[in-house]
Each structure stands twice: as C-alpha cells, then as structure tokens.
Amino acid sequence: IFFIFFIFYPPQVAILGVSKSSIKPIFNGKKFKPRLMLPLSLSYDHKVIDGADGAWFTTTLSQILSDLRLLSL
C-alpha cells in the first residue's frame, strides 16, 4: 500500500480507505492483461452496520468506479 486517504465525517460510523491506483497484470483465464486497479478498504462499526450492507456498499462502489458512466445515474 503506497498511500491511504481516509474519509470520515463524525458522527458517521464508517471509514472508506482509497489507495493509489496502479496498473497490474490480471489473468483473464487465457492471458495476462494490464488493468488499472484501485485498492479500496471499508472499516465500519459492526454494532451499527451489518456485514452484508458493508459488502453491498463496497461492491456497488467498485462497479460504479469501474464504469464512470454509472456516475451520471
């Protein structure tokens, strides 16, 4: 991890960590293909947020960031 920037606005109970993006070789089943990767980390209070909700948020955020056209929806 090169750099992590946390976004935290009290009294919210979650922290989203976004690291530096970089080009990584990703295997697509036949060959390696260069892809831009952006590491994300979500930390949250389990007394307030269910793990399924945290997983849904992380997955949805990943899908939106991978297709920037979804930002306009």
Catalytic residue among 30, 31, 46, 47: 46
Active site residue 62: no
Q: Which residues contact 45 (CB under 8 A, 6 or more apart)?
A: 13, 14
The candidate with the shortest Cα–Cα distance to 62, out of 25, 21, 10, 1, is 21
Q: Which residues are known catalytic residues?
A: 46
